[in-house]
Structure 1
């Protein structure tokens, strides 16, 4: 997916249509996506001002409830940028250092890993979900303490030595949330509400349990096609079961939000409401691997040093039925947010069209 976006950005530099054509491309892409069954919200903004926000599809297919712009979606791995911010706030409060050893906070069978390795996916840690899937009693709900217990108990082999290469790691972000709890003595969920969601007035954003989600009227359910080609709730598929028996995990996912709250978050990152600009610059910096090459994943953000609008940071997310993305062009304060709740293949076409539309309004 990201390689596809990179190729598109190159093409954008070479061929740029007129202003009118740029806007027309986005409108046509939205119309096409809607015709082809895309369900989700598209938001395009510049300098924090919404240029376009559109909702299409269904909040729930079973009840034929239409989707609205304010509806709340599972963000999946977009949650990692919030986890990284919690670590950055801890650092600015003097509670930890990015180059502290993991072993200072959490006992694991994996020595030599720093907090910076966890943030940048350069730790070499094994996949926690694999070991839990193999050994955990799925009639029970696991969280971070149980995940850590099973990593210590079964000691699955690491993939590589810390800093040798980049490999996306949900395990690393579980450990980051646990480090925040260890450093602060507070619950990660409550602290995220106190440190991020409330100060930024992100009233639609939270880490919600299954029971809490059920009480949110405008929560957009994730949907997958059944054998007959009909969209049904993703929770009815066995592939979604892990969201239940790993339902108490913190760090790699589980934040739910809507497009306008994510725009509030996006704009706050240009200020010093949460952390200093110096710390944010570090979050957007490439990691130097042991062999001297660069890995372009910062603290919860994929980094593209060159794009049609200068430096870009972005992240995608995927849960059963959900596909999400935020694209931020830092030098020109341009933003694309797309939240999808039927795992539709048109999402990246919409990202392309939205990028073209940002040329000028």
Structure 2
């Protein structure tokens, strides 16, 4: 099963869990967006000064415990590529340009890219229904379209099986058809691995090629050869865990990926491949410009207007940085993140084998360093850290009440929301949606210890153990009030 992989984003703050079956359905800041001052960016990039800043930031990340590989390209040229730590602790092999890492749910970006091309050239239709491809589709799923699957609007649950199981396609399909939908197709948003695996199967049906062959043939057109599943995988180049397991063992179960992964997760790649892939895709060289523009359309509001989902990627318009495309992903062992700041010609990729300084946080640090903005490098607490005692302060009591509410039932969740959310936060969504979010929070963090706490004038940040991933995850409340603190925004990561 995929695990938590969160990203903090700018105003208005909307945090969404990407690349997992477990995680927040929604986290929001309902207050009016803060006015973001424009970044002070020299129109002519000084590669020397920028490189020095990136090196300093990477040194700080490595000193704080980051292990993995990072790469940045600017206007089509790789300007930074460095690894930290051992990709194979048993042999001492270091992370380097050839290291194959698990990209997790970034796989969805590859699937969305392929689907956009097949739709653009007429091989597939965005309106193609499940019933047009498969037999005996249940009535509640018969009219689900390819477009809905590619934008998480189909209503499928996050997953219907175990990534590591040795299951065939028929088992996956039966599980998908039997799974209750989260909502009527086309009426909502729910991040789902299921829809992307079905989309991959539809592409196989339409082309007569396996998903992996279709992808590798497309990538080979621009000289990319180290990205794929088992036909690209190289044990000697793969990242390995301390116990010796490589990606094939740790992420696939020691056998070829099953259909709980195909099309939605588990692809291996290298940092140079990832930079070349995104550059060729963005330039319209890997797929047609028409397909690129189709796939990068901000189709589906993720729940607050700040970010939208296209075909396998997130589309955001940041008030300071302009148009951004990105996706991340991870499992209990590995996590990764690609991001393009389209208005600045900047592409970043990070892959890592730990969560204390995960790929999302590293991308944020390197982005700040690129633009000469301040950043902070601090490693998150780990599951082995001792629980703390919350302070006897209004913010300490707020966190205590929140954790107590997570241990209760739906009535306790609603009582906390009504007592501790601001009016704007409550009005942001229907109560059923708030309760669904709290049900997921309770599943992720209910009954777990608080491992860290830090409070400011308008926020409180604390870390809680997430048992499914064996790691501590940060939660932040934006707060108002004095003696009784209320939550104006909630962020994960």
Do both share a fold (TM > 0.5)?
yes
| Shift in alpha-carbon separation, 1:357–1:343, aligned structure 2, 3 A | same
Contact 1:40 1:341 in 2 (8 A): yes
Identify which range, 12-21 or 156-165, moves more after superposition: 12-21
| 1:307 to partner: Cα distance | 5.1
Take 1:328 and 1:219, find their aligned partners in 2: how far apart are those partners? 25
Tell me which residue corresponds to 2:491: none
Whether 1:38 aligns to 2:66 is yes
| Shift in alpha-carbon separation, 1:26–1:294, aligned structure 2, 3 A | closer
| 1:357 to partner: Cα distance | 3.2
Name the structure with the higher helix share. 1
Whether 1:200 aligns to 2:222 is yes
| 1:22 to partner: Cα distance | 6.4
Contact 2:117 2:291 in 1 (8 A): no
Whether 1:4 aligns to 2:8 is yes
Tell me which residue corresponds to 1:123: 154
Take 2:328 and 2:337, find their aligned partners in 1: how far apart are those partners? 4
Take 1:292 and 1:186, find their aligned partners in 2: how far apart are those partners? 38
Contact 1:22 1:356 in 2 (8 A): no
Tell me which residue corresponds to 1:247: 257
> What's the CA shift string for 1:85-127, capped at 9, x where partnerless?
2212222332211122222113432133111111111110124
SS of residue in 2 equivalent to 1:5: coil
SS of residue in 2 equivalent to 1:123: coil
> What's the CA shift string for 1:37-73, capped at 9, x where partnerless?
2111111111111221111111112332222122111
| RCO higher in structure (CA 8 A, sep ≥6) | 1
Tell me which residue corresponds to 1:104: 132
| 1:332 to partner: Cα distance | 2.5
Extract unaligned runs of 5+ from structure 1. Answer: 224-230
Tell me which residue corresponds to 1:227: none
| 1:7 to partner: Cα distance | 5.3
SS of residue in 1 equivalent to 2:10: helix
| 1:234 to partner: Cα distance | 6.3
Identify which range, 252-261 or 104-113, moves more after superposition: 104-113
| 1:252 to partner: Cα distance | 0.6
| 1:264 to partner: Cα distance | 1.1
Take 1:217 and 1:55, find their aligned partners in 2: how far apart are those partners? 17
SS of residue in 1 equivalent to 2:174: helix
Identify which range, 5-14 or 273-282, moves more after superposition: 5-14
Tell me which residue corresponds to 2:485: none
Contact 2:299 2:308 in 1 (8 A): yes
Tell me which residue corresponds to 1:176: 199
| 1:16 to partner: Cα distance | 4.9
SS of residue in 1 equivalent to 2:72: strand
- Taking the TM superposition and a 5 Å limit, the aligned residue runs for 1:145-294 are 145-152=170-177, 155-194=178-217, 196-208=218-230, 213=233, 215-221=234-240, 223=241, 231-233=242-244, 243-244=253-254, 247-249=257-259, 250-287=262-299
Identify which range, 249-258 or 26-35, moves more after superposition: 26-35
- Taking the TM superposition and a 5 Å limit, the aligned residue runs for 1:22-101 are 25-101=53-129
Extract unaligned runs of 5+ from structure 2. Answer: 14-33, 373-493
SS of residue in 2 equivalent to 1:54: strand
Contact 2:7 2:360 in 1 (8 A): no
Take 1:336 and 1:66, find their aligned partners in 2: how far apart are those partners? 20
| Shift in alpha-carbon separation, 1:166–1:246, aligned structure 2, 3 A | farther
Structure 1 length as normaliser, TM-score? 0.81
Structure 2 length as normaliser, TM-score? 0.61
| Shift in alpha-carbon separation, 1:319–1:292, aligned structure 2, 3 A | closer
Identify which range, 259-268 or 181-190, moves more after superposition: 181-190
| Shift in alpha-carbon separation, 1:21–1:192, aligned structure 2, 3 A | closer
Contact 1:33 1:346 in 2 (8 A): no
Tell me which residue corresponds to 1:333: 345
The root-mean-square deviation of aligned C-alpha atoms, in Å, is 3.3
| 1:328 to partner: Cα distance | 0.4
SS of residue in 1 equivalent to 2:143: coil
Contact 2:102 2:334 in 1 (8 A): yes
Identify which range, 333-342 or 167-176, moves more after superposition: 333-342
SS of residue in 2 equivalent to 1:299: coil
| 1:282 to partner: Cα distance | 2.1
Higher Cα Rg: structure 1 or 2?
Answer: 2
Contact 1:286 1:294 in 2 (8 A): no
Aligned length, in residue pairs: 337
Contact 1:72 1:219 in 2 (8 A): yes
